[in-house]
Amino acid sequence: MKICYLIGYPVGHSMSALMHNAAFKELGLDFSYEIFSVKSEDLAWFVASRLHEPDFMGANVTMPHKVSIIRHLDEISPEVSRIGAVNTIVNEGGHLKGYNTDGIGAMRTLKEDYGNLDGATVALIGAGGAARAIGYYLSKYVEKVIVLNRTPSTAVDLAKMLSAFPECKANIRALPLQRKNLVKVLGEAHLLINATPLGMIPNVSESPVDCDLLRPGLFVFDSIYNPIKTRLLKEAEEAGAETLSGLKMFVYQGIASFKLWTGLEAPEELMYHVVEKKLEDEKI
């Protein structure tokens, strides 16, 4: 049997094993997907001891390891060299290569549900691994990206990094994640994207934005998929904004990972519906 892992801390909320094991079973593959809660201080040991076993095929990487995992890999894809974050590992005959499918998942989702991104002004909350991936792909299409983060220096670093790429078409700037900045930014933004864990299980009472700053005409995309409707999305709906959960992004990045591991097209509808059903059954 071939093994795939999810590596993060914590990972109890994840639906990755449910989704991928259903897909493996559907296609009759002798694969198993397991989740491991790995603390930062144990990451090097885990890579050395578990990711070089002969039955290991690949892994997904989630918070807080998307950046730190890179130094433990043998090679990274061109996208990762740009983004600086990995969410997928493939074992190529003992050679560990890192990829990033988060941005692919996010852009497919936005193009389906938001539509044409040309000329859009985007408020991107967060500057971690997910924000790096989403910001990189967005910067190729939109007119403006304002990165807002609790640690201002991290937002500045991300804005500088994205702006330096020749494929970047957007005007990118950084601001501290503070109410006074959100007031101005959300007044002009077309699209608000939460790329932080604020609102994720178990901290469902959290939101990165005060509810009174949300408004009709704003499109709010939360990269969190569990819960399927975060506090941010609930309050955005109440304010008359359009909303989009992270469920599609989660499934689409998983589909891309699945193909990297197996070389096969994933059963997309099955993967989406098994996760959707589970989330609906556990709805908060």
Could you list the active site residues? 66
283 C-beta neighbours (distance < 10 Å), count: 9
Comparing C-alpha atoms, which of 195, 276, 191 is closest to residue 228? 276
What is the spatial distance between Cα 221 and Cα 122, in angstroms, rounded to a whole number?
11
Strand partners, 2: 31
Do 76 and 104 form a contact (C-beta atoms < 8 A)? Answer: no
Phi (first) and psi of residue 221, to 5 degrees: -115, 120
What is the spatial distance between Cα 275 and Cα 270, in angstroms, rounded to a whole number?
9
Comparing C-alpha atoms, which of 195, 219, 257 is closest to residue 110? 219
